[in-house]
Structure 1
Amino acid sequence: MSFTALVCDSTAALPQEFVEKHGVSVIPLYLKVGDVTYRDRVDISAEEFYQRLPSCNPLPTTSQPSAGDFVALYQDLVERGATGIISIHLSAGISGTINSATLAAAEIDSVPIEIVDTESTSVAVMFAVEAGVWALEAGATMEEALIPIRRVVEQQKLVFSVDTLEYLYKGGRIGGAAALVGSLLQFKPLLYFSEGKIDALERVRTSKRALVRMAELLADWMGSEEPVRVGVIEADCPDRGQALAELARQHMNVADLGIHTLTPVLGAHGGNGTVGLCCCPLSAFQWG
């Protein structure tokens, strides 16, 4: 049976049940802890990783899937009947995953392959995948499904806060937020994606204020009346995740909300205590 395949990487916050139910193909990034290399969300769980991270020396490192990994996945999908592939991934500004996917797509000439750079990560990738799944299952063609996917990519917003910039700084993912390094003893940074790279948005004095300010910022961007889908991201700080979820409900017209644990690969760059808020207008997901 012919179908349009959806591919994403492991940084997406997709629940495993959703992946299995809708046939989404997830390609893992790699995480090196000490001398051992793990496949993100396959060989190591978030719980185990965050227990180990504070004592890791040297810090864990990460790497993207190879072009060969993508070629193998794309070829398998073609052999299973895919007549087109939509491959949705975290920002090229923080990872080489898009580059690997693009190189692999150039080697597959039997079906069209569309590479989508979300210019963000985590729940933003999840939202784009969900938009594609729902459109395809409603009868959309590959080109038609790309319309809500790209709309979600354009309209989603993600803000997050870390307890320390050490992981982002040493991992080389800090972008414009580098200016904050060394000035955080009395401040918590609010970070966001600007043109696909991590940049500084604001500084606040306490973790509690950071949660409130994230909800306020998203409400400013989304509006208080527009129905929005909300994803809360947390790394080994479920209480803060729950508090941020409640603040989101107070500040916005929440159509649905999920709380998602930051995957180990992303946690390696954010660290324990990272918490974030991703929102997208519900209307962006509509097709047909």
Structure 2
Amino acid sequence: MPGIRIYADNACDLDKEYLEELGVKLFYMPVTIKDQTYRDRLTISPPDFYKLISEPGVMPTTAQITPREFKEEFEKALQESNDQIIYIAFSSGLSGTYQSACVARDMLDSPRIMVFDSKSASVGYALTVIRAARAVAAGENLEQVVAAIEDNIRRIEHIFIVGNFDMLKRGGRISSTSATLGNLLNIKLIAHFMDGSIFPLEKVHGLKKAKKRMLEIMAERGVNLKEQLIGISHSNDYEGALELKELIEKRFGCREFVISEIGAAIGAHVGAGTYTIFFLR
């Protein structure tokens, strides 16, 4: 009986071992730092990535996965079995990887290949991947798995404290003046995702107030939070992520969490010192 293969990419910020437990196969986006190219979480770990970009003047760059890479893997999967192939992609608002996968799908012209734009990043993206993998493991059919994916894509929320204003300045999200003032005055920018892209939401003085405000926004937007799988990601501060988890547990009674460190694919956009919470609205 044909099965369902779930694919994702490393922008979901989940460790390889956990993805293997879920039965999810991974594509890797390259990141270049000081003329050296790495594969995030494959040839460079998150701690090593943040150590490298902490050096003055070092700005990492990322590249999309190529259509050729997708075509080779999809073609192999088609030949190996009659499984349905589902690739859930890093947000098209931040990378061309989704478009690359669509090109590969169209080249192979097989109804067994489905490509979804998660419109998400980091553990927010991971929550959709996890839901899809759990649906497959539970024996749900293709229609049910697709419905679960599309539901998460519609409802996922990303609320985060930006670690480095310079990263957003480079991406054109804020002005040079705002970036300089923010870094100097300990202003924390709370941002969110809209249709798969990053947009500033509010500015708050100090990290403690910013975390408190994140939970207020979570309360305003979230639905039935106690029963949800909640995502938390951080860049170079696991203790800070645990503090967020405790605050969420205390306020909303949430019991199930996924906590992961932001890797190079996302860290290249937001920098060290970023904290993010993910949930469904």
Superposition pairs of residues 18-37 of structure 1, within 5 angstroms: 18-37=18-37
Superposition pairs of residues 115-264 of structure 1, within 5 angstroms: 115-170=115-170, 172=171, 174-175=172-173, 177-178=174-175, 180-184=178-182, 185-186=184-185, 187-223=187-223, 226-264=226-264
User: Are the aligned partners of 1:67 and 1:100 in contact in 2 as well (CA < 8 Å)?
Assistant: yes
Q: For 1:100, give the aligned amino acid.
A: S
- Measure, in 1, the Cα distance between the counterparts of 2:225 and 2:35: 51
User: Are the aligned partners of 1:222 and 1:228 in contact in 2 as well (CA < 8 Å)?
Assistant: no
**1:284 aligned partner:** none
- How far the C-alpha of 1:108 sits from its partner, in A, is 1.5
- How far the C-alpha of 1:123 sits from its partner, in A, is 1.1
Bigger helix fraction: 2
- Measure, in 2, the Cα distance between the counterparts of 1:225 and 1:12: 21
- Measure, in 1, the Cα distance between the counterparts of 2:20 and 2:56: 33
Match of 2:73, SS state, is: helix
**1:101 aligned partner:** 101
Q: For 2:189, give the aligned amino acid.
A: P
- Measure, in 1, the Cα distance between the counterparts of 2:225 and 2:85: 36
**2:9 aligned partner:** 9
- TM-score of the aligned structures, taking structure 1 as reference length: 0.90
- Measure, in 2, the Cα distance between the counterparts of 1:204 and 1:56: 26
- How far the C-alpha of 1:188 sits from its partner, in A, is 0.8
User: Are the aligned partners of 2:157 and 2:278 in contact in 1 as well (CA < 8 Å)?
Assistant: yes
Match of 1:55, SS state, is: coil
What per-residue deviation string (whole Å, max 9, x for no partner) do you get for residues 6-45 of structure 1?
1111011323233212321110111001121111111111
Divergent runs of 4+, >3 A = 177-183, 223-226
- How far the C-alpha of 1:178 sits from its partner, in A, is 4.8
Q: For 1:181, give the aligned amino acid.
A: A
User: Are the aligned partners of 2:164 and 2:271 in contact in 1 as well (CA < 8 Å)?
Assistant: yes
User: Are the aligned partners of 2:136 and 2:145 in contact in 1 as well (CA < 8 Å)?
Assistant: yes
User: Are the aligned partners of 1:85 and 1:111 in contact in 2 as well (CA < 8 Å)?
Assistant: no
User: Are the aligned partners of 1:90 and 1:120 in contact in 2 as well (CA < 8 Å)?
Assistant: yes
Q: Matched residue pairs, number?
A: 278
- Measure, in 2, the Cα distance between the counterparts of 1:98 and 1:72: 16
From the superposition, tell whether residues 178 and 108 of structure 1 become closer, same or farther in structure 2 (CA, over 3 Å).
farther
- Measure, in 1, the Cα distance between the counterparts of 2:102 and 2:52: 34
What per-residue deviation string (whole Å, max 9, x for no partner) do you get for residues 77-125 of structure 1?
2122143211111211111111111111101224422211121201121
Match of 2:54, SS state, is: helix
User: Are the aligned partners of 2:15 and 2:41 in contact in 1 as well (CA < 8 Å)?
Assistant: no
Identify unmatched segments of 5+ residues in structure 2: none
- How far the C-alpha of 1:250 sits from its partner, in A, is 2.0
- How far the C-alpha of 1:157 sits from its partner, in A, is 0.8
User: Are the aligned partners of 1:29 and 1:64 in contact in 2 as well (CA < 8 Å)?
Assistant: yes
What per-residue deviation string (whole Å, max 9, x for no partner) do you get for residues 187-240 of structure 1?
210011112111011110001111111122112211576522211111011221
Superposition pairs of residues 65-80 of structure 1, within 5 angstroms: 65-80=65-80
User: Are the aligned partners of 2:90 and 2:119 in contact in 1 as well (CA < 8 Å)?
Assistant: yes
- TM-score of the aligned structures, taking structure 2 as reference length: 0.92
Q: For 1:142, give the aligned amino acid.
A: L
- Measure, in 1, the Cα distance between the counterparts of 2:196 and 2:206: 27
- How far the C-alpha of 1:241 sits from its partner, in A, is 1.0
Identify unmatched segments of 5+ residues in structure 1: 282-288
Q: Percent identity?
A: 27
